[in-house]
Amino acid sequence: MAGNREFFYRRLHSLLGVIPVGLFLVQHLVVNHFATRGPEAFNRAAHFMENLPFRYFLEIFVIFLPLLFHAIYGLYIAFTAKNNVSRYNYFRNWMFMLQRLSGIITLIFVTWHVWETRVQAAFGAEVNYEMMANIVDNPIMLGFYILGVISTVFHFSNGLWSFFVSWGITVTPRSQQISTYVTMAIFVALSIVGIRAILAFA
Amino acid sequence: MMSEKKTVRFIITRQDRPDSPPYEEEFEIPYRPNMNIISALMEIRRNPVNAKGEKTTPVVWEMNCLEEVCGACSMVINGKPRQSCTALIDHLEQPIRLEPMSTFPVVRDLQVDRSRMFDSLKKVKAWIPIDGTYDLGPGPRMPERKRQWAYELSKCMTCGVCLEACPNVNSKSNFIGPAPLSQVRLFNAHPTGAMHKAERLEAIMGDGGLANCGNSQNCVQSCPKGIPLTTSIAALNREVTIQAFRNFFGSDEI
């Protein structure tokens, strides 16, 4: 069993990135998109999420624990790679490097974002349209949020591509090629959803 | 111009001992038509004088078959790992840079020790056990279509190019690399080899195994034999997923 632990951790890392963390990300971006319909629509949606039954249980087991494992083990994976895109200038090698880079940017962004919103909420602040509007009022923070969202969405979309390979779903080069197109379309679509929401706060 | 003799220039990364620091030495040798890297290295060996005109030790390298089937003469040529026997001087930009493959310990100059690959082949049981105390008779037949398919995988010559190209094979990880993984697919496809399928799958589910692949897919781009290494890896991913379920939930297929 000791020898099998790495295999188990890697597969767990791959699974958690999509279920539940990836699904949570999509849900989060969709709820944010209510901001494009005005402050009230967003506040209503945020309030609904806040008042979900079993909120702390859901937060711990659907968001924080899977996210923590994925982030910490992901950091280990990222730092054991020796990137070589300058010597092997291939598309998939670039995606390999960008997956690791976007993972690190996303971790920094998400940590900051959780601190600014969820942790502040725990200290008594109210999470609403105004809170976000105040954050992205600063052009530097607006830029940081846009970069963070693009990085997160890329990491999720390209991670979905590797998920399909890691679990042996896409085996042939053809299926992996189509999977590249589909996951990149997801990247573009979710980026639009995410950025529209941020700009609605700005 | 006509009287000037054509030459070939080399910048070679050399190393005197496994533990001594590497250094570069330049060479300039007379050009001959149809030269390859091996014949150029032979010329340096015949007359070991560097570009400054100083006498030096001949450059050490490894070679065997000279027709790109043994894998022994792999080295990094102008930044890319490949076999020096099929690297033609006429196709290379000069000065030609030769370096030993960085993934393996250097023995001397361009000669590296590829033992880790052979150890990995042992680890994954890359063979078909047919020996016994009595004649086991003929094994099951292999369909011709499958034999032709398996032949492509059997072209692997353990040259090390895929390990050199892989960003996840390095001193910080114990990943065995693409070549031995693809051999598991080959031997599991063989009707007699399939009798030990689970053993091989469990070997690559261990430390440094299949799960270390990060899908940079440099291996399949670099393989001199055109082996579908990433298809092998993805196919094995499916196999080990099923194997893991079998191991945990139970199965009569042992």
Give CA–CA dist A172/A106, Å, rounded.
Answer: 30
B41 in the same domain as B154: no
Position B140 in a domain = yes
Angle at alpha carbon of residue A183, lines to A181 and A184, rounded to 5°: 65
Q: Which of A1-10, B122-131, B231-240 has the highest mean pLDDT?
A: B231-240
Of B173, B214, B221, nearest to A88 by CB-CB distance is B221
Q: Does the beta carbon of A89 lie under 8 angstroms from any beta carbon of chain B?
A: no
pLDDT at B9 over 50: yes
Interval B172-220: pLDDT, tens: 999 999 999 999 999 999 999 999 999 999 999 999 999 999 999 999 9
- pLDDT of B3 > 60? The answer is no
pTM: 0.94
- Asked if B214 lies within 8 A of A173 by C-beta distance, the reply is no
In a domain, B254, yes or no: no
Please indicate whether, in this complex, the C-beta atoms of A92 and B218 are within 8 angstroms of each other. Answer: yes
pLDDT computed for residue B253 by the predictor: 78
Q: Tell me: do B235 and B127 sit in the same domain.
A: yes
pLDDT at A36 over 50: yes
Max CA pair span of chain A: 54
Interface contact B165-A84, CB threshold 8 A:
yes
Distance from CA of A43 to the nearest CA of B (A): 41
Looking at residue B138, what is its pLDDT? Answer: 86
> Does residue B77 sit in the same domain as residue B193?
no
Least confident of A157-171, B126-140, B152-166: B126-140
pLDDT of residue A1: 43
Residue from the list A6, A90, A166 with its beta carbon closest to the beta carbon of B237: A166
Q: Do B188 and B133 fall into the same domain?
A: yes
Looking at the fold, whether B21 and B127 belong to one and the same domain comes out as no
> Are A168 and B209 within 8 A, CB to CB?
no
Region label for A174, one of left (φ > 0), alpha (ψ between -120 and 50) or beta (otherwise): alpha
Of A79, A83, A165, Cβ closest to residue B234: A165
Q: Which residues contact B223 (CB under 8 A, 6 or more apart)?
A: B161, B162, B178, B229
Clarify whether residues B123 and B245 are in a common domain: yes
**pLDDT for B154:** 97
CB under 8 A, 24+ apart: contacts of A61-70: A62/A20, A62/A24, A63/A20, A63/A21, A63/A24, A66/A16, A66/A20, A66/A21, A67/A16, A67/A21, A67/A110, A69/A12, A69/A13, A69/A16, A70/A13, A70/A16, A70/A17, A70/A21
Min CA distance, A195 vs chain B (Å)? Answer: 29
Residue A157: which pLDDT band, with cuts at 50, 70 and 90? very high
What does the pLDDT look like over B43-58, one tens digit per residue?
Answer: 999 999 999 999 999 9
End residue of a domain, out of B112, B127, B156: B112
Residue A41 and residue A34 in contact, taking contact as beta carbons nearer than 8 Å? yes
Output the pLDDT for position B130: 85
Verify whether the Cβ–Cβ distance B237 to A96 is below 8 Å.
no
- List the single best residue of A14, A75, A80 to mutate versus B (max B Cβ within 10 A): A80
Residues B197 and B144 in one domain: yes
Q: Span A71-82, mean pLDDT?
A: 96
Tell me the percentage of chain A whose pLDDT exceeds 90.
97
**Domain range holding B170?**
115-249
Residues B193 and B229 in one domain: yes
Mutate to test the interface with A, among B99, B152, B215, B219 (most CBs of A within 10 A): B215
Residue B66 has pLDDT above 60, yes or no: yes
Torsion of CA A3, B185, B87, B70, to 10 degrees: 90
Provide, rounded to the nearest whole percent, the portion of chain B with pLDDT above 70: 98
Helices in chain A by DSSP H: which ranges?
5-18, 21-32, 39-50, 55-58, 65-80, 91-114, 120-122, 129-135, 139-166, 173-201
- For chain A, percent of residues with pLDDT exceeding 70: 98
Q: What is the pLDDT of residue A55?
A: 95
Q: Is residue B2 part of a domain?
A: no
- Ranking B3-7, B30-34, B96-100 by mean pLDDT, the lowest is B3-7
Residue B1 has pLDDT above 60, yes or no: no
Q: How confident is the model at residue A2 (pLDDT cuts 50, 70, 90)?
A: very low
Flag if B80 and A171 touch (Cβ within 8 Å): no
Contact A129, A36 (CB under 8 A): no
Residue A202: what pLDDT? Answer: 86
My answer on whether B61 and B178 are in the same domain is no
Q: Is A28 annotated as a binding residue?
A: yes
- The values of phi and psi at residue B106, to 5°, are -80, 135
Q: What DSSP string describes A82-124? A: ---TTTS--HHHHHHHHHHHHHHHHHHHHHHHHIIIIIHHHTT
Residue B25 has pLDDT above 80, yes or no: yes
A113 marked as part of a ligand binding site: yes
CB contact under 8 A, A176 and B209: no
Q: Does pLDDT of B71 surpass 60?
A: yes
The stretch B230-237 carries a mean pLDDT of: 98
Domain boundary among B112, B140, B173: B112
Q: Say whether B215 and A172 touch across the interface (CB within 8 A).
A: no
Domain ranges of chain A: 5-201
Q: Are B10 and B26 in contact (CB under 8 A)?
A: yes
B252: confidence class by pLDDT, cuts 50, 70, 90: confident
Q: Which residues of B touch A159 (CB under 8 A)?
A: none
Q: Which of B87, B112, B137 is the last residue of a domain?
A: B112
Helices A139-166 and A91-114: angle between axes, nearest 10 degrees: 130
| Rounded-to-integer distance, Cα B234 and Cα A73, Å | 22
What does the pLDDT average to over A179-192?
A: 98
CATH of the domain at B236: 1.10.1060.10
Q: How confident is the model at residue B2 (pLDDT cuts 50, 70, 90)?
A: low
| pLDDT value, residue B4 | 67
DSSP code of residue B88: B
pLDDT tier at A3, thresholds 50, 70, 90: low
Helices (H), B88-177: 115-123, 144-153, 161-165
Whole-number Å distance between alpha carbons of B154 and B147: 10
Assigned fold of A5-201: 3 helical TM bundles of succinate and fumarate reductases (1.20.1300)
Domain total of chain B: 2
Q: How far is CA A120 from CA A20, A110, A123, in A?
A: 24, 14, 5
